Structure 1
Amino acid sequence: MHSNVNSSQLHSLEDPYHLSEEQIAAYQSNGHIMLRSVASAEEINSYEPAIEQYVRQHNHHTKPVGERDTYGKAFIQVGNIWQQNEAAKRFVLAKRFAKIAADLMGVNGVRLYHDQALFKEPGGGHTPWHQDQVYWPLDTKHTITLWMPLVSISEEVGSMTFVDGSHNSGYMTRQFISDESHKTLGSYIAGKGLPTTNYGAMSAGDATFHAGWTLHSAPGNPTDQMREVMTIIYYADGTRAMEPDSSARENDLAGWLPGVKPGELAVSPLNPLLYSR
């Protein structure tokens, strides 16, 4: 583990965060929810420096923001940090977050699919409309992503924008994140007059949770502050891997579910059980 953080200073993130029946119902109906203070300011402050430093060291972008393609402009993306960094490991494997994921989905247990830091640089572009689960070879609708800013983000950067109830439509498009997906899905949303939600400004430690099939996008970053966000993807324990129907799903099967064959339980050393009733 490479880390210059004294792990005794890291807060535990074990104690539960209590959800109301209304919150669970809202998530299940909309496919997304925003929860305040899922981690406290003190807790975030104990983790942010190590995660931020790791992401900065592993940023593979060599060109300035303005010279990259849409996907490259959208964020600095670093995955599977939990295996490389002690602070990230404690954060990603946190029982508190995993229990919220299980409670919102109404399942008995959740496993880790993978983590991902998504840092949007000053001047960073928008994240086009997309569904996450087109990338995942997971044979379940019970998938969920925690999206938590490690620094406060202003109204103009805001949360992601979600299409309410879109998780019930399942597979809507084969398109991956691109200008094309943004245009096609954008006109579909507008044409159908689908309701969307953006939660606006968020404090460090607030979090949104959204289902794998929930259609979403994110605005660019017009500020001079880095938008530091950590994401953790969970799926219901007992989920099986599916036969990949795209190169993206083939890559994901090999990368995030090593050794697992289609039809088998989605369990590998990279997918620990993080919470179980």
Structure 2
Amino acid sequence: MQGNIQISELNQPYSLDKDQITRYGDDGHILLRGLASQSLIEHYRPQIVDEVKRLNQETRPLEKRDTYGKAFLQIMNLWEQSKLIEPFVFAKRFAKVAAELMNVTGVRIYHDQALFKEPGGGYTPWHQDQIYWPVDTDKVITLWMPLVDVPDEVGSMTFVSGSHKHGYISKMEISDMSHQTLKSYIESEKLPQANYGALQAGDATFHAGWTLHSAPGNPTAHTREVMTIIYIADETRVLEPDSNARKSDLERWMPGLKAGDPINSRLNPLLYRI
């Protein structure tokens, strides 16, 4: 019975108003409070944490890792690994919000990932997610949901408002160099930055694939546990990969597809359609 209650909640719509949709279109990011209830988080968080522990292969101490490795533990596609977690990742409630914010009729999953920033974990450099994705669209969006409360000192993400309209700014992958290069760009262009501050478990931010963003390190003794889901507009086609990162993503997240194909592999099921 408990499982049925959770599934029912995952299918319940979250009400967006026109101002929120407009704001996302203008800024390339938005915060939605209470997208997942506390009961949903209490149900799914232990399962996600257990899978992260089971699948994590990073055993080096923080001081032995590079900047990317210090930023977070990153575990991909938990829905493939756990039938218990799949309903959370495939939630129509979340997917419908993604479709409405992007003003599209349907969305497919690109992939999910758990991002756990450990105690003492480093900063996440400025970057654009979409440099990694061989997708022929700008209709891509990421849900970023903390599974625990995130106080100000732990740090949620900082976004550069309107940067999604600038498109492909730099091909540099996440690194100290990307941080410095994009930081200089942000400052020279005098681009506005936004941070939503403290978040509660179950709150969620959404940001576009081209939106510049970063996050500070974690100075606390508690892990910042976050679950993310990346959505692409239905009927999007594969873009010819122009980098090794995009070639790797094509092989991993869209198996069997090639440039020009509709993105509909076994790993990209349709999650919502109007």
Superposition RMSD in Å: 1.1
Runs (4+) off by over 2 Å: 6-12
Give yes or no for the alignment of 1:259 onto 2:267: no
What are the residue-to-residue correspondences of 1:98-247 with 2, within 5 Å? 98-247=95-244
Further displaced range: 8-17 or 100-109: 8-17
Q: Does 1:97 align with 2:65?
A: no
Are residues 1:59 and 2:56 paired?
yes
Q: Is the 8 A contact 1:158 1:198 kept in 2?
A: no
The 3-state SS of whatever aligns with 1:87 is coil
> 2:269 maps to what in 1?
272
Q: Distance in 2 between matches of 1:19 and 1:264?
A: 32
Q: How high is the TM-score relative to the length of structure 2?
A: 0.97
The aligned residue for residue 49 of structure 1 is 46
Identity of aligned residues (%): 61
Q: Distance in 2 between matches of 1:86 and 1:199?
A: 32
Aligned to 1:19: 16
The letter of the residue matching 1:103 is E
Give 5+ residue unaligned stretches, structure 2: none
SS at match of 1:176: coil
Q: Tell me the equivalent position of 1:3.
A: none
Distance in 2 (alpha carbons) for counterparts of 1:262 and 1:212: 19
| Runs of 5+ consecutive residues of structure 1 not aligned to the other structure | 1-5
Partners of 2:188 and 2:125 in 1: CA distance:
17
Cα deviation, residue 8, structure 1: 5.2
Q: Could you tell me how far apart the structure 2 residues matched to 1:275 and 1:22 are?
A: 22
Instruction: Give the SS at the match of 1:254.
Output: helix
Q: Residue 155 of structure 2 contacts residue 217 of structure 2 at CA under 8 Å; is this kept in 1?
A: no
Structure-2 separation of matches of 1:225 and 1:38: 23
Maintained 8 Å contact 1:11/1:43: no
